Structure formats: structure tokens, C-alpha cells
Structure 1
Amino acid sequence: MASKCMILLALLVPLLNAQTFNQPGYPGFGLGARFGGGQVVPQQDLQAQEDIRVPSAPRQRNGGQSRNPAPTAPTRAPVIPKTSFMDRFSSKLYAKIAPAQAGSNFVYSPVSVHSILALIYGTSFGKTRRELKSAGEFVDDQIDVAMIFEKLIKFRSDLGNVELKMATKLYHNQLKGGAYPGFPEFSQFYFNTADEAVDMTRAKDTSEKINFWVSDSTDGKIRNLAAPSDITEQTEALLVNAIYFKGRWENEFATMDTQPSNFKHSDGRISSVAMMYNDDVYSLADIPELGASALGLNYRDSNISMLILLPKQVNGLRALEAQLADPQFDLNRIAARLQRQNVLVRLPKFRIEFDQDMTQPLKQMDVQEMFGPKSQIKTMLNDRVRVEKILQKAFIDVNEAGTEAAAASYAKFVPLSLPAKSPEFTADHPFVFAIRTPTSVLFIGHVEHPTPLTASPEGAGRGRQRSFSSRQ
């Protein structure tokens, strides 16, 4: 059972003396980025930019019209690559983040970062666009990309046992003028983005307003995302994305079966952790090429599952993670090898709170131009901007049944005749986990320090934490 949520904050600042673009183009913002000042791109570079279609705001599907009537959205089906471009992006980003988190727990949401980049991709041109296309594994048609993310972002599951919701809000500087024509409708339709004008000169009030929305969107799990120091008079906009997930296991663990058990750390230490236990039908596979075993745990009433990759060697996490960047080991291909069978599962409880500046990992993926003075991004305020930084804060809590149902009573019945001995999956050393759908990775991370049996719920299993306000 797991409860997870993630927030991404994007800050945008206009390029110094930026000219207003006369050519049609469509603006967008992504998860947690801030944009800052820079140089003006020469006029000849603007004339040489490739064509950009304005992603006209479609008419509302309920028959009503948008505030600024525009041509309807394309009705053709989006072109989706044969292999999951979302999985490929997730694997590349994980390979850049994981090495720096050796020895600690961490979790982040690839789909949250990806959706922000997709929105920015739709507003970009020139080298900026080409870099985003390559890093994001996007198809060339920006409308196709927007349509794919529309389907994902607008999916909501609230069936009692599983809840999944994504929301994005754009806070723009009220002193910077009105929105670029069609932008509010486009961002709302494809990326579920609401917008609000705020006073960036009142940093404390604005940060409190943002943090209230963040807390409300994540059921109170994430607070204090934005600090007053993140906001200046030059901040053009802040794009905030939240994803929240809570699910009940298809096969729950009985709280009475959770016992203290040894967990072997990569450095040779051994600690006592709260180990859950269940003998039931799960999905299992041996992946000898990775030197690992894979376990799939389904969430009830949904196509969402947790995939756990457990290295066969106690200190094998680093080697396992290094191989995950290889396309042949994308999570879809690993999941396809899982076989349903009775499995005796031992899995430690874990809880992680983690924040990550995504700027450097993205630069390592050759996304350079949008962070620099030659950024080629149009915004909703008719100015070119550069991305100053992209920040994310995430939370995950995995236990027997779920956050609200942890204290519920549970009875398990077994057959009178004993079945054949089940294969075992015992996660008693560091492992990788991912919460995923068949097409996208919602959350991914690794566990090196599960919940100690005596730890308080608030402090157990936390990863490295850094204050955004300390970043310059």
C-alpha cells in the first residue's frame, strides 16, 4: 500500500530587453522552473527559426466555448512511438540522479518532470526545441506530444482503493501584462493548468499562496515548497505541478504479520526494520542479465502497480542502476517478463521525503540552451524567457494497507491442504522501486534505509533533504 505525492516548481524570468515576438508561436510552462535574465537573440536567428504551430485553444468539449475562441483541437489520434518514450526518458533521467544519492533513500516523479518539459517544448524553437526533443524523446509534432500528455494528466482515478490526480498551476507576475493569446486555453486543455496573477514584489505573500495550493493538492503531504527567496521582482512566472497517488494493494499485508527483521546495507551494516510479510499471488521474474529479481505488486481496481528490482548481491544496487539506462532494460520490457504465481513476499515498510533540483541532471542530458541567455522559449506574456531552475519535492509512504487504513483489522484464510512451497522474494537489502502504469512511470527511486521498527511515522526512512531557499 502506498501514498505518494510530488511537487515541481518552475520559475521563469524574462530575458533582458527581450523583444516581443510577432511570429505566431505557442507558449507553455513546465514543472517547477524559474526563468531569468539574459541576452536578445539576433533578429536573423528569429527569422531562421523553424515553423511553430500555435496550439490553438480548443473549444470546450461540453459544447461551451473558451474565453478566446480559436480553431478546434486536432481530432486525429496522436502518433505514439512503438516503445514508450516516457519509459526511455525516465530511464535516462534516473541514470543521472541515482548516482548522487548513493547511501540515502530518494524518490521523484519522472512524469511530472516530463510534463513540464512537454509544455516548454510546445513553446520553444531553434536549438532549444531540438535539445528538448532529444532529451524528452518527443515526436516532432508538438500537438501530438500535447495530446499524449493530455490523456495522462487528465486521467483521475478515485475509486476508493486508488486515487491518482495531477494538477498544474501557473502563477504569473501581474505587472508583466496579459497572457499570450490562446495560452490559458491551451495550457488548461492539454496540461490541466490553471493560472493566477500574483504580485511578485510581495514574495512572502506569494510563497504562502503557492504553498497553500500545494498542500491542498497533495492532501497536506507536501508543504513549504516555495520560499520567499525563490521569488523576485524579475520572476515572470512560477509553474507548479503536483501529482498525488494513494492506493490499496490488491493483496494486502496483514499488520499482525509485520515483524522486526534484519536489513543488510550496502556498506555491510545490519539494522532492524519493520518487515511486512504475505504469501499470495504476485508477479515474479528472474532477470539474470541484470543480476536481479523483479516483483510486481498490483494496486486494487487499477492498472497501476509497483515494480521492485532486487539485486541478487547485497551491494549490487549501484551496478543494477547503471544498467537501467540501457534501452533493453526499460521498465516496460522488464514488466513484460513477470509471471503471475504464488510468492512468499517479505517487503520492508518505507517512508521517504525528498527534494531535488532537476536543473543539473537535465543539463547532463544535453538540455543546455533553455537555461542560458540564448534560450528560445516564448511565454504567455509575449517575452522570451530562460529557465532558471526546475525543482521537485516528493513524498512516499509504503505500508501494509495504506495511510488511512493502517489500523484496520484483517483476517486471512488459508486452505486446509498445503500448496507446494512458494518461491520467495525477500527485500532485505537495497532495492529499486517504481510506481507505474503500462505507459508511464509515476514515481521511481531506491530504498537503502527502510523504516526502523521503533521509528516515528514522521521521521522514518527519510532521504536527504535540502531547503530550496538555500539554493542560489
Structure 2
Amino acid sequence: MALLLQSETDFGLSLLRQQNLSESLVFSPLSIALALSLVHVAANGETRNEIREALVRGATDEQFEQHFANISAALLAAEKGTQVNIANHVFSKSGFSIKQSYLDAVKKLYNAGASSLDFSDKEASAEAINKFVRENTGDHIKKIISADSIKEDLVAVLTNALYFKADWLNKFKKESTFKREFFSSEDSKREIDFLHASMVHRSYAENDQFQVLSLPYKDETFALTIFLPKTRFGLADALKSIDSATIQHLLSNVSDTFVNVRIPKWKIETELGLNEALQSIGIKKAFSGDADLGNLADGVFVSAVTHKALIEVDEDGTKAAAATTVSISLKSAMFPIDEPIEFRADHPFLFVLSKDNHPLFVGLHH
């Protein structure tokens, strides 16, 4: 179990390090992993091994499948007003035959539905995929694919949508929200709304690099954890050296502490193309002319992986949503003390939204 948590955290950190670390962003390692697990079922040989190793190092194919099936089930069992929705779907080009054994397998493992679309009607096809994403993200992600990305050689779009909405276990009082300065860099600051809670007991930990505040939701298996660098503009450096073991250690070692909390009220939306990032963490074959996705169809490869995510944090709780699409194309087209501890998140920090310490969303607030 610890191994799996560490692998997932590694995957999230590796993807994070591929991004521009000097601006706000959010993504869902889990949504990306679930979309890639649909590719894992399609893949054989080295193509399959690379996906498995990048996501869950050291696991067997069966453990990999069991792991993502289990996480999905655990998330969908959220309670106490915490809403989680996960949906997987295979959209294929009408007239192109995807192996029935593939569709049966993704249905059984990941509850993935399937439908065929007339890709020659690009507008209608894009709208069908976008509608699926809207419906499964509480209308938060309105568009993941554009009509012009539906090219001649596209045969399938594997899609994952993930939505999370929950109230804090301890809500922030609206009358305690004030504008204060947030310092994004030495020479850049702005006034934003901050949520405040004074002289309260909250889950807290620290090490030499970070102050860590974990805020649980009503279903306390879910939490938002803020990793605030002790060095004011030290986030980029801290991210270079922090590893998944440290993150998991901090997540599991928070304890009830007397604190003053000041964190931003925030909303971040990010859109990422992941082809390069995924290749640089070892998923290479799937994107190449040597791709073996033979369980889905012969002569195809992954032409694009796109991801969109958003998170909104306010007095009452959090809403977060993500969608990931994997485009499959024909190969022909290649390319504690008495004083409360001050937790004042007024400079850039890392955040992780987790379920039982499994990272669902990861991001930076600048």
C-alpha cells in the first residue's frame, strides 16, 4: 500500500516538475492515470510496461488494474455530503472497429462506457465529447476538445472526467474573510481575499523546508494539504528536492496543533498538453510508430493527451474538476507551544487534495 501511495505521489511530482513552476496551476494525477489506464488495457509488450512502470512502479499488470479499480470504488463511496464523480468513456469513429474484447475489459475494470461518433462531423463529435465532460464535472469543465483536433486519422478518444465537491469539516467564517497582500515574488504582490481562522486546533506538521497544514472535509478521508515553504520565495527550489516519501511522511504525520490560519480564497484553472511530459517520465512507445495498442486495434498510436483541471477554495469548502482525453490515431500520420503557530500562506505554495493520502489534485498557488 505504501508503495502504491509513493508511486502515485511520484507520478504527480514528476508531472508537476515538467510544468512552469513560476505560475499557479492545478492538475489531477488521478484523472490522467485513469485515462492512461484505458491505454494500458489497449497496450501490449513494452508499450504496456512503460505505462505501468510510470504510474505504479514495480506492480504487475493485475495489481495495476486492481489498484485503479479500487481507488475508483473508494472515491465513489465518499459520504457526508462529499460528492465525487468519476466517469470513463471510449468514443470511437463510426465504421472503425475497436475490438469487442477491449470494450468489455474497460467496462468491467473501469466501468467505461463506449459510443461511436461520426468523426467526419467534427463539430458534433467534439460537442458529444465535451457534453460528456460537462455532465461529469458538474458543468465546471465545459470544453476539453475542439472540432479542429478531430483529424482524418483519429479513430478513438479515451476520456476521463473527475469531479469533487465537499464542505470543510471546519468552515471558515465569511465575516473573517479579508483582503490582504499575497507576495508572488520579490517584486510582485497583489491584494486578494484570505480566509482566516484564529487560535484554532488544526492538523499541522513541519520539517526544515515546509510548514504543512491539512484541512479535512466533512468526510475526513479527504483533505486539502498546503505545503508552505519556510523560505519565502523558495517554492521552486523546494520542489526540486522534495520527494514522494517526504510528502507522504508529512501527510501522515500531521497532528492537532494550536494555529492561526490565513490562506487565500482561490480559483485556479489549467489546461495542459501532456505528450512531452509523459514521454519524459518514460511513456515513449505509446506515442511512437512502434506503439503496440493491439488489444484495441492494429496500426494505431497515441497522438495526443490533453488535460484540463480547476480548483476553487472558499469559506465553505472546495470544488475541483478534471478531464483528460487520449487521442488514438492511425499510425500513417506520424509526428506545539502556548502561542499559536502562524500559518500565513501569503507566498507561493504547493497543495495536494487527497483521499486517504492518495493525491487526487496537485497544484501550485502563486
User: Same fold by TM-score, threshold 0.5 exceeded?
Assistant: yes
Kindly report the root-mean-square deviation, in angstroms, between the aligned alpha carbons of the 2 structures.
2.0
Is the Cα–Cα contact under 8 Å of residues 359 and 390 in structure 1 kept in the other structure? yes
Is 2:161 aligned against 1:242? Answer: yes
Structure-2 change in CA distance of 1:270 and 1:439 (3 Å): closer
**AA paired with 2:225?**
L
> Is the aligned partner of 1:392 residue 2:307?
yes
Structure 1 partner of 2:334: none
Q: Is the 8 A contact 2:171 2:317 kept in 1?
A: no
In structure 2, the residue matched to 1:336 is 252
The 1:311–1:426 alpha-carbon spacing in structure 2 relative to 1, beyond 3 Å, is same
Matched residue, 1:429:
347
Q: Deviations over 1:186-213 (max 9, x none)?
A: 2112112110011111111111111111
Correspondence for 2:7: 85
- 1:151 paired with 2:67, answer no
TM superposition shift of 1:133? 3.0
- 1:173 alignment partner in structure 2: 93
Q: Give 1 or 2: higher strand fraction.
A: 2
Task: Rate the CA distance shift 1:377–1:140 in 2: closer, same or farther, 3 A.
Answer: farther
Residues 152-195 of structure 1 show CA distances to partners (whole Å, capped at 9, x for unaligned) of 12331454531112111110111112x41332222112112110
Letter in 2 for 1:328: A
1:319 pairs with 227, 237, 247, which one?
A: 237
1:350 maps to what in 2? 266
1:153–1:167 CA contact under 8 A, matched in 2? no
| Alignment-derived partner of residue 182 in structure 1 | 101
Match of 1:53 in 2: none
- 1:138–1:145 Cα contact (<8 Å) kept: no
Question: Which of the residues 297, 301, 304 maps onto 2:219?
Answer: 301
For residues 3-37 of structure 1, the C-alpha deviation after alignment (integer angstroms, 9 at most, x for no partner) is xxxxxxxxxxxxxxxxxxxxxxxxxxxxxxxxxxx
Q: 5 Å matches for 1:51-450?
A: 81=3, 84-97=6-19, 100-102=20-22, 104-154=23-73, 155-157=75-77, 159=79, 161-177=81-97, 179-279=98-198, 280-288=200-208, 291-324=209-242, 326-329=243-246, 331-380=247-296, 382-402=297-317, 420-448=338-366
**CA distance in 2: counterparts of 1:144 and 1:366, whole angstroms:** 19
* Alpha-carbon distance in 2 for matches of 1:224, 1:187: 24
**Alpha-carbon contact 2:35-2:88 (below 8 Å) kept:** no
Distance in structure 1 (CA, Å) of the matches to 2:149 and 2:61: 30
Deviations 1:293-350 (A, max 9, x none): 11111011230101101011221111111123x3432x22121221112221001111
Name structure 2 gaps, 5 residues minimum: 320-336
Does the C-alpha gap of structure 1 residues 208 and 83 become closer, same or farther in structure 2, counting only changes over 3 Å?
Answer: closer
Asked whether the equivalents of residues 176 and 236 of structure 1 are also in contact (C-alpha less than 8 Å), the reply is yes
Contact 2:293 2:300 in 1 (8 A): yes
SS in 1 for 2:92: strand
- After superposition, residues 28-43 of structure 1 pair within 5 angstroms as none
SS in 1 for 2:339: coil
Task: Quote how far apart the aligned CAs of 1:116 are.
Answer: 2.2
* Count of matched residue positions in the alignment of Structure 1 and Structure 2: 347
Task: Using the TM superposition, give the Cα deviation of residue 80 of structure 1 relative to its aligned residue in structure 2, in angstroms.
Answer: 7.7
Shift, 1:428, TM fit: 0.8
CA contact (8 A) 2:21 2:236 kept: no
Distance 2:127 2:282 in 1: 34
Cα gap change, 1:80 to 1:123, in 2 (>3 Å): farther
The letter of the residue matching 1:86 is: E
8 Å Cα contact 2:31-2:161 kept in structure 1 = yes
Which residue is 1:30 aligned to? none
Sort the Cα spacing of 1:431 and 1:83 in 2 relative to 1 into closer, same or farther, 3 A.
Answer: closer
Deviation at 1:439, TM superposition (A): 4.6
Q: Structure 1 residues 131 and 301, CA, compared in 2 at 3 Å: closer, same or farther?
A: closer
Native 8 Å contact 1:139 1:145 kept in 2: no
Which amino acid is the alignment partner of residue 123 of structure 1? A
Q: Select the structure of larger CA radius of gyration.
A: 1
How far, CA to CA, are the matches of 2:4 and 2:148 in structure 1?
44
Distance 1:334 1:344 in 2: 19
Query: Structure 1 CA distance, aligned partners of 2:3 and 2:231?
Result: 35
CA contact (8 A) 2:206 2:250 kept: no
How far apart are residue 141 of structure 1 and its match? 2.4
Relative distance call for 1:362 and 1:403 in structure 2 (3 A) is: closer
Q: Aligned partners of 1:237 and 1:268: how far apart in 2?
A: 47
1:384-428 deviation line (CA, Å, top 9, x unaligned): 421111000111110000479xxxxxxxxxxxxxx9432221101
State the AA in 2 paired with 1:312: K
Unaligned runs of 5+ in 1: 1-78, 405-418, 449-472
Sort the Cα spacing of 1:383 and 1:188 in 2 relative to 1 into closer, same or farther, 3 A: same
Q: Percent identity?
A: 23
CA contact (8 A) 1:218 1:244 kept: yes
Q: Give, in whole Å, the separation in 2 of the partners of 1:283 and 1:384.
A: 52
CA 1:162–1:375: 2 relative to 1, 3 Å = same
- Whose helix fraction is larger, Structure 1's or Structure 2's? 2
Are the counterparts in 2 of residues 296 and 306 from structure 1 also a CA contact under 8 Å? yes
Q: AA paired with 2:307?
A: Q
